[in-house]
Amino acid sequence: MRPRCARGGGGPRPAHAGGGPGAECRRLGGSAADETAAPAPRPAQGLAARAHGGGGPVAADAAPPFRAAQARGFFAPPGFVEAGVLRLPFADGGFRGYRADKVLHELADPAAAVAEARRVLASGGRIVLCGQDWDTLVLDSDRPALTRAIVHARADTIAGPRAARQYRTLLVDAGFTEVAVEVRTVVDTDGGFRPLLDGLAAAARAAGIATDAQLDAWLSEQSARAGAGRFFLAVPIFVASATKSPQ
């Protein structure tokens, strides 16, 4: 979930950050296989690109997350470089596509990352942004007011929790054209995402928005729902795409 990696090759190319292919991602250029290739193993994941000339993938990752990933046994793809999404070590116009998946919400200034993406894109290059809005986690609960407070408490710990709803504005303000946005919703009804709620409760506990007893009861309710087949969590994923028009 951090600003993580970039893939590409020699020559002008598209850039991508994150994982999880989609219809818009396939518009980056080249074959569908080029654009939807499996991302680097998490957490060495983020910005990916492919050369106009068909070069192999190149990846970039900020040093601390990448080194931590290496320590846990993750391996970077060939051509990996140490870099962050705010300052990519690539020439202007060197990519034909860029995709950022679950990256911009980790940044205090997502507009700077979008501007950097535009810099490395060639004219006519495609950009895709993908991620969730952290204020928009939908959870069925017998305690709706407490649930809202918990979700917002977790969102408040993130640098840009509402970056996903800003994708269109960010792209328009950066000068991109053909801007489109769609929403794809991840729905869990079997409790597979139940452990995610522990992190939400921990953030709420740290913020002091509820007592330990209230939070423990909230978590117990969700565990009971999962066990009884009554669990429901929906996470809308925003996917935005645009084009860098020839100047």
Cβ atoms within 10 Å, residue 13: 35
pLDDT digits (tens, 9 = 90+) for 147-195: 999 999 999 999 999 999 999 999 999 999 999 999 999 999 999 999 9
Residue 53 predicted with pLDDT over 50: no
- Tell me what the mean pLDDT of segment 216-222 comes to: 98
Q: ∠185-103-232 over CA atoms, to 5°?
A: 25
- pLDDT value of residue 101: 85
Q: Give the whole-angstrom CA distance, residue 195 versus residue 158.
A: 19
Q: Give the whole-angstrom CA distance, residue 123 versus residue 14.
A: 10
Q: Give the whole-angstrom CA distance, residue 192 versus residue 9.
A: 37
- Tell me what the mean pLDDT of segment 223-232 comes to: 97
Q: Which residue has the tokens 């991508």?
A: 16
Q: Which residue has the tokens 């597979």?
A: 192
